[in-house]
A and B are shown apart, each in its own frame.
Chain A
Amino acid sequence: MQQIINFIFRNKNLLLYLFLLFISIALTIRSHSYHQSKFFNSANSISGGVYNASNNVTTYFNLEKENQKLVQENMRLRSILFNKEYNQEVQIDSTKFDSTLITYKIIAARIIKNSYSNLDNYITINKGSKDGVIQDMGVITPDGILGIVENTSQNFSQVQSILNRKSNLNAKIKNTDNFGSLVWNTKDYNTVQLIDIPRRIPVKVGDTILTGAASSIFPENIPIGTIKGWNLDVSKSSYSIDIALFNDMSNIKNVYLVHNKDRAEIELLESQKPNGQ
Chain B
Amino acid sequence: MASKYYFINILRFVLLALVQVLLCNKIGFLGFINPMIYILFLYWYPIKQNRAAFIIVSFLLGFIIDIFSDTLGIHAASTVTIAYLRPAIMRFCFGVNYEFQSFKLASVPRIQQITYIALLIIIHHTVFFILEVFSFENFLLILKKILAVSLASLILCILLSSLFSVKKE
Looking at B70, B131, B133, the one whose CB has the most chain A CB atoms below 10 A away is: B70
In the assembled complex, the Cα of A44 lies from the Cα of B67 at a distance in Å of: 9
Check A36 against B72 for contact (C-beta < 8 Å). yes
Task: Report the interface size for chain B: residues with CB under 8 A from the other chain.
Answer: 37
Check B18 against A24 for contact (C-beta < 8 Å). no
Check B59 against A24 for contact (C-beta < 8 Å). yes
Check B28 against A116 for contact (C-beta < 8 Å). yes
A226 at the interface (CB under 8 A from B): no
Check A122 against B51 for contact (C-beta < 8 Å). no
Would A120 and B31 be within 8 Å (CB), given that A12-B52, A24-B59, A25-B77 are in contact?
no
Check A41 against B72 for contact (C-beta < 8 Å). yes
User: Residues 46-63 of chain B: 1 if any A CB is under 8 Å from the residue's CB, otherwise 0?
Assistant: 000001100110010011
Check B28 against A24 for contact (C-beta < 8 Å). no
In the assembled complex, the Cα of A44 lies from the Cα of B71 at a distance in Å of: 14
User: Residues 68-89 of chain B: 1 if any A CB is under 8 Å from the residue's CB, otherwise 0?
Assistant: 1111111011001101100000
User: Residues 23-66 of chain A: 1 if any B CB is under 8 Å from the residue's CB, otherwise 0?
Assistant: 11111111110001100111010010011001000000000000
**Band of interface residues on A:** 35 or more
Looking at B22, B28, B33, B71, the one whose CB has the most chain A CB atoms below 10 A away is: B71
In the assembled complex, the Cα of A26 lies from the Cα of B131 at a distance in Å of: 11
A16 at the interface (CB under 8 A from B): yes
Check A41 against B70 for contact (C-beta < 8 Å). yes
User: Residues 249-263 of chain A: 1 if any B CB is under 8 Å from the residue's CB, otherwise 0?
Assistant: 010000000000000
Which of B67, B71, B134 contacts A47, CB < 8 Å? B67
Please give the distance in Å from A52's CB to the nearest CB on chain B: 12
B113 at the interface (CB under 8 A from A): no
Check B84 against A17 for contact (C-beta < 8 Å). yes
Residues of chain B within 8 A (CB-CB) of A51 are 22, 68
Check A117 against B55 for contact (C-beta < 8 Å). no
Q: Which of chain A's residues 223-264 have a Cβ closer than 8 Å to chain B? A: 250
Residues of chain A within 8 A (CB-CB) of B132 are 118-120
Which of B22, B71, B141 contacts A54, CB < 8 Å? B22
A13 at the interface (CB under 8 A from B): yes
A211 at the interface (CB under 8 A from B): no
Additional pairs, 12, CB under 8 Å, beyond known A24-B62, A50-B22? A17-B80, A21-B77, A23-B76, A29-B73, A31-B71, A31-B72, A41-B72, A42-B67, A42-B69, A50-B18, A121-B70, A250-B28
A-B CB proximity, top 5 nearest: A27-B73, A28-B73, A122-B70, A24-B77, A24-B76
15 inter-chain pairs at a CB distance below 8 angstroms, sorted by A residue, are A12-B52, A13-B51, A16-B55, A17-B81, A23-B73, A24-B73, A28-B77, A36-B70, A50-B68, A51-B68, A116-B28, A117-B28, A117-B33, A121-B70, A189-B31
B contact residues vs A (CB 8 Å cutoff): 18, 21-22, 25-26, 28, 31-34, 51-52, 55-56, 59, 62-63, 66-74, 76-77, 80-81, 83-84, 131-134, 141
